[in-house]
Each structure stands twice: as structure tokens, then as C-alpha cells.
């Protein structure tokens, strides 16, 4: 093993990473260089502007979320700085519905979507390309119509077609690459309250997995309406999500990536009008939190797993 090759050994898998001669525009900042170890598992169909370090990370974040949306039939994700700013799921496989959902995902936070990365779980068509009226850095899809590639090739947007691969969560720390498996489960257990559309509940869980911890996601009628994450306090994330959602918080479903350690974060959601919460349990105050939810008359679903992402 030479200085340009690394072995990452797990219980079942051995991953060999080699420094690849892929030239990126720059690193995380324009004055920094970037390096790629391991062959990226995608085909670059169009590079309107040279790919950067951030483009690759954002594109994968969008793609993993879009792929996970296949668990409820498929959908669209819009990512900025590795964080979802909008997501929506499709109700059927018609092209009209897919175009509608692309528009909903972009408009979920149109300010943040500008200059973002869009990923779909379905083939990207010419009509979809023509429907987009905002600037995007990258579009990721399992396939693209030839006409869509030709149309989009006149723009600066990059087009990425992923190959089959296993996504991992990871960081570089102490001169080493630290990897974690990345697994998503979205089969929540109903505990009490009025039952909600289970597809919406699952959708909230799928999206919250893609948000940096501590994460709170509000969804309503198949689209995200408020996303709060990357905070050291779950209470702050709840405040951010409900503030962004505004009146859309009323009647919304909220997903938390981990348990509520106190009732304060839950209280922020309920006071904003949230009527359903899905979250894992595991706190020493679980009964206090659940009793508080019952007393306030909201619905509660238990997530099967914790969904921290750092």
C-alpha cells in the first residue's frame, strides 16, 4: 500500500481508496486545493462550469435524500450547503405530477433554492428542464432524456447521473478518514392521537435524516414548510423550523431526528400549531414528554431509529 492508496476495513467490507486525478475548481474555499480519493460513482453528463469540492458534497446530499424518497414512491430534493431547503414527494408517476413536485420543492424555500442542487428520484425530461425558472448549480437524476441534456447543455448547470454505490457518512479527523454506515428506516409506530396520513409522517422522517443535528423538519401536504438544523439545541431548531414555516406550522407534522430531552422544544412546536410529531424515544423524561403531548392534544408517532447527522 503506497502513500496514495488507503484501505478502509470494516467487519464485512474492504474499501480501497486511491487518489484520483480529478481536477476540481477549488476546495471548500477558493484559496484551497481539493483532492479526490476513490473513484466517484457518477457520470458527469455536462459540466457547464468546472466541478468544485462543494458541488460534489452537495450533489451527493441531494441524491441520497432523493433516493430515500423512493421509500414512499419517489420525490425531489433541493440542497444548499449539504442541507435540504426543500423536498416534496410525488403522488403518481405522471410527468405532470413530477413537474409539479419539482416546482413545489424549489418553492418550499425559493430564496435558498437559488444556486442550489436539485435531485430527482426519476428520469429528468425536457419538459422538466423547461419548467425550471431558477438558477441551479447541479441537477442529479438516475437518468436524463437526450433532449433534456441538449437543452441544459446551453446553461452553466452541471448534470450528474449517479451509478450504483453504497452511501456512507464520514469525516476526516486526526489525519484519518472516519466512516459510518448510513441507514434509514421510516416505519413509525403510532402511539396516540388522531391518525395522520402515514405517507406524510414517513416523508418527515426521511427528510429529517438528511438535516444536520439537532434537526426538526415540518411538513404539510407532501412538502417541507420549515427546516431547522445544525444547532446545539433541539429547542433552537424547533424555533427556526416554526419561524420559517410561519402560518404553515398550523396543522403540520414535525419530525425530530432524536428524542426530546425536555418538553420545551415540543412546546415550541405545539404553540406554533403543529398537530403531529414523530420522534424516537430514549430519554429519561420520555413519559413526561409523552404526557405533555397527550395533555396538549397532539398526535405522536415513535420513530424506529435515531437519525443524527453531523
Identical fold for domains 42-162 and 189-302, yes or no, is yes
Q: What is the 3-state secondary structure (H, E, C) of 174-202?
A: CCEEEEEECCCCCCCEEEECCCCCHHHHH
What number of CA atoms fall less than 13 Å from residue 203's CA on the CB side?
Answer: 29
Give the domain ranges of the chain.
42-162, 189-302
Percent of the chain with pLDDT over 70: 93
29's grid cell:
474555499
- Residue 56 host element (H or E): helix 53-68
The pLDDT value recorded for residue 305 is: 81
Give the CATH fold of the 42-162 domain.
Cytidine Deaminase; domain 2 (3.40.140)
Fold held by 189-302 = Cytidine Deaminase; domain 2 (3.40.140)
At 36 the pLDDT is 86
Helix (H, G, I), strand (E, B) or coil at 128: helix
Q: Whole-prediction pTM value?
A: 0.90
- Give the Cα separation of 181 and 283 in Å (integer): 24
Question: Looking at residue 20, what is its pLDDT?
Answer: 63
Count of beta carbons in the 10 Å neighbourhood of residue 210? 27
pLDDT tens digits, one per residue of 238-296: 999 999 999 999 999 999 998 888 899 999 999 999 999 999 998 899 899 999 999 99
| Residue 279, strand partner residues | 302
Long-range contacts of 25-32 (CB under 8 A, 24+ apart): 25/49, 25/50, 25/51, 25/52, 26/52, 26/53, 27/52, 27/53, 28/53, 28/54
DSSP class of residue 108 equals T
Q: What string of pLDDT tens digits covers the 310 residues of the chain?
A: 333 444 444 445 555 556 566 788 888 888 998 888 888 899 999 988 888 899 999 999 999 999 999 999 999 999 999 899 999 999 999 999 999 999 999 999 999 999 999 999 999 999 999 999 999 999 999 999 999 999 999 988 999 999 999 898 888 899 888 888 888 888 899 999 999 999 999 999 999 999 988 899 999 999 999 999 888 888 899 999 999 999 999 999 999 998 888 899 999 999 999 999 999 998 899 899 999 999 999 999 999 888 878 7
Amino acid at each position: 500500500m503506497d502513500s496514495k492508496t488507503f484501505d478502509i476495513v470494516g467487519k464485512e467490507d474492504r474499501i480501497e481508496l486511491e487518489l484520483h486525478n480529478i481536477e476540481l475548481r477549488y476546495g471548500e474555499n477558493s484559496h484551497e486545493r481539493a483532492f479526490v480519493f476513490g473513484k466517484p460513482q457518477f457520470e458527469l453528463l455536462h459540466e457547464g462550469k468546472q466541478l468544485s469540492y462543494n458541488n460534489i458534497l452537495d450533489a451527493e446530499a441531494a441524491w441520497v435524500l432523493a433516493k430515500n424518497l423512493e421509500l414512499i414512491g419517489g420525490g425531489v430534493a433541493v440542497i444548499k450547503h449539504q442541507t435540504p431547503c426543500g423536498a416534496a414527494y410525488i403522488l403518481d408517476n405522471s410527468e405532470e405530477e413530477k413537474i409539479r413536485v419539482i416546482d413545489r420543492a424549489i418553492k418550499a424555500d425559493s430564496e435558498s433554492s437559488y444556486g442550489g442542487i436539485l435531485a430527482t428520484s426519476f428520469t429528468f425530461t425536457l419538459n422538466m428542464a423547461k419548467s425550471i425558472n431558477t438558477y441551479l448549480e447541479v441537477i442529479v437524476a438516475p437518468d436524463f432524456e437526450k433532449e433534456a441534456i441538449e437543452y441544459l447543455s446551453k446553461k452553466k448547470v452541471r448534470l450528474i447521473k449517479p451509478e450504483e454505490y453504497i452511501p456512507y457518512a464520514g469525516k476526516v479527523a486526526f489525519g484519518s478518514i472516519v466512516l459510518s454506515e448510513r441507514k434509514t428506516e421510516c416505519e413509525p409506530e403510532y402511539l396516540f392521537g388522531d391518525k395522520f396520513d402515514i405517507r406524510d409522517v414517513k416523508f418527515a422522517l426521511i427528510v429529517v435524516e438528511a438535516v444536520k443535528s439537532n434537526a426538526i423538519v415540518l411538513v404539510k401536504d407532501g412538502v417541507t414548510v420549515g427546516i431547522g438544523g445544525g444547532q446545539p439545541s433541539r429547542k433552537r431548531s424547533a424555533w427556526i423550523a416554526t419561524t420559517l414555516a410561519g402560518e404553515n406550522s398550523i396543522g403540520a407534522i414535525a419530525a425530530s431526528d432524536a428524542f426530546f430531552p425536555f418538553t420545551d422544544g415540543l412546546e415550541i412546536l405545539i404553540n406554533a400549531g403543529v398537530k403531529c410529531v414523530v420522534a424516537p424515544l430514549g430519554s429519561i423524561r420520555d413519559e413526561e414528554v409523552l404526557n405533555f403531548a397527550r395533555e396538549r392534544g397532539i398526535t405522536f408517532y415513535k420513530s424506529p431509529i435515531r437519525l443524527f447527522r453531523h
